[in-house]
């Protein structure tokens, strides 16, 4: 049997990625305020948030799918004794 992830899975992972981006943006804005104590410059916050989200994009790409997979299928666990790809065939 050939198992594939359903097509809607990746669309749902985009929503998880959006939630991660919002959390990162809020965290970066808070961290910027703590470091600079500047609440007058929106360009400082905008540049830090955009740069931070671009730097963290590869992490979001990976972990949004992983988090969604763990959330949608909490009862699926790896069972090593079923992994027979690495065992040489007996003749």
Of 53 and 90, more confident: 53
* pTM greater than the 0.75 cutoff: no
Q: What is the pLDDT of residue 10?
A: 80
Domain boundaries, the chain: 8-82
Comparing C-alpha atoms, which of 49, 53, 67 is closest to residue 13? 67
Give the model confidence (pLDDT) of 62-76 as tens digits. 999 888 888 877 676
Q: How far is Cα 68 from Cα 31, in angstroms, rounded to an integer?
A: 27
Per-residue tokens: 84: 């027979």
Average pLDDT over residues 32-45: 91
Mean residue pLDDT across the chain: 84
């Amino acid at each position: 049997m050939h198992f594939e992830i359903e097509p809607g899975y990746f669309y749902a992972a985009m929503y998880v990625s959006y939630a991660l981006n919002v959390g990162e943006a809020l965290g970066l804005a808070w961290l910027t305020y703590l470091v600079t104590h500047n609440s007058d410059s929106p360009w400082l916050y905008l540049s830090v948030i955009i740069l931070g989200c671009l730097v963290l994009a590869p992490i979001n790409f990976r972990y949004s799918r992983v988090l969604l997979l763990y959330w949608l299928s909490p009862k699926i666990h790896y069972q090593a004794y079923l992994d027979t790809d690495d065992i040489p065939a007996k003749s």
